[in-house]
Amino acid sequence: MERKAVSSSLLTSMGYDPETQTLEVEFSSNGGVWQYPCSPSTYARLRQADSIGRAFISEIRNKVVGERIS
């Protein structure tokens, strides 16, 4: 999945696959890459948020189980 750089202290990059409704993020702290189930509307809110990191924590990290892929 292609990720694009984001302006966030929590995340380095973020990508989305609408066919599988999968969000992929790379964390700034350790470079770990994780995938999370994510609806298109939630992904749109993440992209438009003033703070992508805060939105990620409230919309994804505290609500769904992710899988580390690297």
Domain count, the chain: 1
pLDDT at 64 over 90: yes
pLDDT at 43 over 90: yes
* pLDDT band at residue 20 under the 50/70/90 scheme: very high
**60 within 8 A of 66, measured Cβ to Cβ:** yes
Report residue 19 as tokens: 């066919």
Structural domain including 62 reads: 4-68
- Supply the pLDDT for residue 31: 86
Q: DSSP E strands: which ranges in 1-70?
A: 4-5, 11-17, 22-27, 33-37, 67-68
pLDDT at 11 over 90: yes
pLDDT at 30 over 90: no
